[in-house]
Amino acid sequence: MIGDLGAADATELAGLVAKGDASPSELLDAALTAVEARNGAINAVVLMQEDVARQSIADGLPMGPFRGVPFLIKDLGVEAKDFPSHNGSRLLANTTYRGDSSIFTRIKATGVVTFGRTTSPEGGIGAATEAAVYGGPTRNPWNLDHTPGGSSGGAGAAVAAGIVAFAHGSDGGGSVRIPAASCGLFGFKPTRARLPDGPYAGEGWAGMAIDGFLTRSVRDSAVMLDACEGADLGAPYWAPPLARGHAAAISRPPRRLRVAICETTLTGEPIHPEVAEAVRAAGRLLEALGHSVEPSRPRADVPGMMRAWTDIVAVGTALGIRSALKGRPLSDDLVEGVGRGACAHAETLHPTRYLEAVGDIHAFGRQMAGFFEPEGGGGPDILLTATLAEPPAKVGRFNHDTEDYVAYRTGPGGIFAYSPFCAVFNASGQPAASLPLGWSSDGLPMGIHLAAAFGQDETLIALCAEVERASPWTAKRAPMAG
């Protein structure tokens, strides 16, 4: 077992440590061996700090729920003083931090042994992970010709390859759920502000971005979310309090729920037939579990939301790039095409557009809230869709060469056409999850997406756990994971 991290979830590995059947050093050795054997093929793990990991073990790990389990953090957004970061960009290569972010402080308290970072696209933009700073694309362990998704693509690839049992990610437009769908994993995006952003930032992308985790099991996500949830000092806002917590919520199934099923995009366009059939199969599974499943989709302004998302992220990207340039020219040896295009697009926007776009996002959130009416109001409790409109894309399709940032996001065949569901719930702030329930005819994972009303994280994760028990997925493993 110690030599095969690909066969266990983090809870099981922590149990081995607690019982004395494995030591933290032995688990770290196994993870490092897996990096050596598999990372050359997938290019997912970077900026390794073995000495830091060894020292954390020697100093005595916290007695948290994942004591001794190897762990990786995303190379974007999670500041950690012992872990320099490229942030997916040559411009920001080898950035160091004066202290740990709130989310990393809470992650460390679980007792994990962090030993490196995972790849991310520049700026966290896109549904693939192919940043120039890492010397090549990150590849999907299920099929190396395909992308593991983005922007937490390195995290998804590392978990799917059996290097670690779980890893940190973040999600501003699907960046946890897209890799989960692409890599056969579970990914959960909590309600807006459920997890802390400070002290280096107050919010990400007008509140649309939030941290998360790529896991094999629902229970690993539930326990890690409980360990990290809650506002940090000075947070501008916070999520509605949990009643019992995620881990307690998955201890028993939720009440029987009203489920709206949509086998098209949310604006009615067809999706890949194999993906649509996976959605229908998930609907049949929920019906067999006693839930009420009826066709429906929200009547919300999804195209308007996508325009607002695109403008907000362009402004945020331009702000970060201009700040890091420190007066240097915006050149292609420092910033990739999509980043340069985002800067150019931001320059075209009226000075009031950013706040107007935030207002559009808020209005959209109210439209989506109206779809998920309170219990007894007649609306659905859950929206069931695909996570992506098609199976995982080929490497290169969503690289950052183009400078046409708007077309990259919203054009024909662009990111929003490929991933038309995920960003909806970053904009609305509602919790959403991708479950590995579908498989294409050529053996690629396909995610099923479940979403709930704002603040209803416990109901959603309880349903995810019920589905996992009814249709277990952990036995399915990428070929290189053993």
Residues with catalytic function: 74, 151, 175
- How many CB atoms neighbour CB 247 within 10 A? 20
Cβ-proximal residues to 274 (8 Å cutoff; 6+ apart), any chain: 391, 438, 440, 441, 446
Q: What amino acid is encoded at 285 in this protein?
A: L
Residue keyed to tokens 């490929």 = 418
Nearest-angstrom CA–CA distance, 13 and 220: 11
Cβ-proximal residues to 65 (8 Å cutoff; 6+ apart), any chain: 11, 14, 110, 111, 223, 227
Contact between 197 and 172 under an 8 Å Cβ cutoff? The reply is: no
Q: Where are the alpha helices (DSSP H) in 272-336?
A: 273-288, 302-325
What is the dihedral sign for C-alpha 464, 466, 471, 477? positive
Nearest-angstrom CA–CA distance, 425 and 209: 10
| Beta-strand runs (E) in 39-79 | 45-46, 70-74
Closest CA to 157 of 35, 249, 261: 35
Nearest-angstrom CA–CA distance, 71 and 214: 11
